[in-house]
A and B are shown apart, each in its own frame.
Chain A
Amino acid sequence: MYDFTETEEQKLMVKAVKEWCERHLTPERVREMDDKGHPYPKDIVEGLASLGVIMGTVPQEHGGLGLDWKTQALIAEVIGYYDPTVATAAGFMAVETGWGFTINRYCSEVVREKYVKPAIRGEKFVGIGATEPIGGSDVAGHRTTARKEGDYWILNGEKTFISGTEEAKLWGGGYWVNARTGPVIPEAPHRNITAFFVPIDAEGVEVIEPYRDAGRMAISTGGFVMKDVKIPDEYRLGEVGKGFYYTMEGFDNARLMIGASCAGATRRILDDAIPYIKDRKVFGMPLAKYEAIQFELAELYMEMEALKLMVMKTAWMQDIRYKEEGLPVKVSEAKTFKPTEIAKWISMVKWKGPFLALKAAEKAMIWFGAAGYTKEYLFEAAWRGVMSYVVGAEGGQNIQKIVIGRELLGKEYVPYK
């Protein structure tokens, strides 16, 4: 049974993260980070790491805190609140926490010691390299290949629109990379894909120039080309041929973090807007008295609370799933919720969160008029940043609808088959 009561520990953790952010992720600092652009400031990431918020869900014996996803979602909400440009949430909640946790589930002790634990400590960066030049959504259609040579794998391919490439280059780190390790089975192209951890400084990895993004400027987006990159077998993640399934799990965790951080960003936008619309008078009356504005605020607030409930339910489902699967991983042991049922909820959260935060930022700018369009407020930076989730980070918005539709209508109705 789901219990909405926050535990004493959760209350204190949320309070601690808020207090830390009040001191370090001030509006001025966030503005400076957005203006200056990547690489992400090391003092902030080290502070977040010492606080324990990065990959908090990783078990304690692996260097994390063993938090449940409900608690991690509450933390991600706070991070999204204090940095509504979502650079911090994208880099360290969605990518490092969502994907880092999943890497840790399937990686060897070598990868854990060399990359996962240092990333938890804020020393290195680990992320996901999924998208390829041919596209991102069709994970089963990606073209990167890996062939086995003795105890090594030789990888060839290219990954684009990858978060944190400059940070990984600067601090050290690497990426989860999927590669085809067997023939394409036309009726099941998702098979024969294997996941690897590719260090950014591995011989044959060439990092491309970062893109000039529109938003979430504090964290870089780039890509890398792999030419005959030789990876030891112990850098393989999980079993050969199971990479697609693990990838879906990684997306689940990252998308949950996005939903939670967008709930936080939305709350921040409303909190920043409310005093202004109460104070600002037009034709002798505060803006807040006009139904055109008050009703929009009420709707955004309702949607935000709905999103938070969805996030909490989804996190609760994830907690049950991971409790049942346990460690070492026994995916088939999950009983209470089917992975596809969880994926449906995850997709609902991933769809609703970014669109809601985007709408809130847009409405706030309109309420404020010209002032809202300036860099005096964080609305425009939030709007630009959240848009990255809308256009595709961690899965395009229409992909989420395909997942939801598949669960509602059945596999035979997926549009790509």
Chain B
Amino acid sequence: MPRIIVCLKYAIDVSQIKVDSATRKLLIADAPRKISDFDKNALEEAVKIKMKHGGEVIALTATAENASTALREALAMGADKAIQIQDPNIQNADTMMISNILAEAIRKIGSFDIILCGEASIDSYSGQVGPRLAEILGIPAVTYVSKVTLEGNTLTVERSLEDCSEVIMVKTPVLLTVTKEINVPRVPTLMDIIKASKKELLTWTLADIDFKGEKSATPSIKVIDVSAPKTERKRIKISGESPKEIAENLVKALIQEGVIGG
């Protein structure tokens, strides 16, 4: 029976970020956080695999803030156990540091068959943590997965690529990153939520997972500035004597702007 670890990012809810109209700075500190959308797809897939094949689903996150409510939601959705690596030093962590932290946590958890991640996070959207984590753990990474079938220790996986889809077979242990097309994450029932309160939710610090590698403990990337682009409409009025002339002028204007080819 598979043991599945699902990596969840306690991400900024980008739909609720407000922008300072004067400075264009994002007011991130005021924005609520939630489980990143694609990671919920990963969790849903893990739960579906467990429902079919049995096994265990462990939800894992690395966060500076306390993500216990989000992890409790993951438990309500069907995870058996949840672990948060909570440490203030994770505040400015880059993808390399997060991947190293998750890898250390997974080593502490012990054996696993499948690691599931979202294809990217909703806030930073780098899409790097999954593949980096696989590399650190020395297991294959299969990205952009839109369908999974497990038989024994072999997974048949469909990958959604830009202009085609690819079907591959891979043996466990393996890391998959999933797209949002793979499933519709379930809404936990109120009884699921009640039961989740009795499930195990662990909080570890970086020290608890023995995370002290000098190179990996500090971010290599420093984010200097994040601001919202200024979008101003051009307010061009297309006019003409007749509908035909207006249409022609519109086409000319679009060609001039480079929106359509000349």
A51 at interface by CB-CB < 8 Å: yes
Q: Which residue of B lies closest to A47 (CB)?
A: B187
B193 at interface by CB-CB < 8 Å: yes
Residues of A within 8 A of B (CB): 8-9, 11-13, 15-17, 19-20, 23, 50-53, 56, 65, 67
Contact of A51 among B68, B69, B73, B190 (CB under 8 A): B190
Residues of A within 8 A of B190 (CB): 13, 16-17, 51-53, 56, 65, 67
Give 7 A-B contacts (CB < 8 Å), ordered by A residue. A9-B194, A12-B69, A13-B190, A15-B73, A16-B187, A50-B189, A65-B190
B54 at interface by CB-CB < 8 Å: no
- A-B contacts counted at CB < 8 A amount to 41
Query: B191 near A65 (CB under 8 angstroms)?
Result: yes
Closest 9 CB pairs of A and B: A52-B190, A19-B187, A20-B187, A12-B193, A52-B189, A8-B69, A52-B191, A13-B190, A16-B187
Q: Complex formed: what's the CA distance from A50 to B188 in Å? A: 10
Residues of A within 8 A of B189 (CB): 16, 50-52
A65-B194 contact in complex given A8-B69, A11-B69, C-beta closer than 8 Å: yes
B114 at interface by CB-CB < 8 Å: no
- Consensus secondary structure, chain B interface: helix
Q: Complex formed: what's the CA distance from A19 to B192 in Å? A: 15
- Mark out the residues of chain B between 186 and 202 whose CB falls within 8 Å of any chain A CB in the assembled complex: 187-191, 193-194, 196-197
B76 at interface by CB-CB < 8 Å: yes
Q: Which residue of A lies closest to B77 (CB)?
A: A16
Residues of A within 8 A of B73 (CB): 12, 15
Minimum CB–CB distance from A243 to chain B (whole Å) comes to: 31
Minimum CB–CB distance from A15 to chain B (whole Å) comes to: 7
B9 at interface by CB-CB < 8 Å: no
Minimum CB–CB distance from B31 to chain A (whole Å) comes to: 16
Minimum CB–CB distance from A66 to chain B (whole Å) comes to: 8
Q: Which residue of B lies closest to A17 (CB)?
A: B190
- Mark out the residues of chain B between 144 and 202 whose CB falls within 8 Å of any chain A CB in the assembled complex: 187-191, 193-194, 196-197
Q: Which residue of A lies closest to B73 (CB)?
A: A12
B72 at interface by CB-CB < 8 Å: yes
Q: Which residue of A lies closest to B193 (CB)?
A: A12
A13-B193 contact in complex given A8-B68, A8-B69, A8-B72, C-beta closer than 8 Å: yes
Query: A12 near B191 (CB under 8 angstroms)?
Result: no
Q: Complex formed: what's the CA distance from A138 to B187 in Å? A: 44
Residues of A within 8 A of B69 (CB): 8, 11-12
Residues of B within 8 A of A15 (CB): 73
Residues of B within 8 A of A23 (CB): 187
Minimum CB–CB distance from A286 to chain B (whole Å) comes to: 16
Residues of A within 8 A of B197 (CB): 8-9
Q: Complex formed: what's the CA distance from A369 to B208 in Å? A: 62
Minimum CB–CB distance from B43 to chain A (whole Å) comes to: 14
Q: Which residue of B lies closest to A53 (CB)?
A: B190
Q: Complex formed: what's the CA distance from A273 to B79 in Å? A: 40
Minimum CB–CB distance from B59 to chain A (whole Å) comes to: 14
Residues of B within 8 A of A52 (CB): 189-191
Q: Complex formed: what's the CA distance from A23 to B187 in Å? A: 10
Minimum CB–CB distance from B76 to chain A (whole Å) comes to: 6
Residues of B within 8 A of A19 (CB): 187
Minimum CB–CB distance from B8 to chain A (whole Å) comes to: 15
Contact of B72 among A12, A50, A56, A67 (CB under 8 A): A12
Minimum CB–CB distance from A93 to chain B (whole Å) comes to: 14
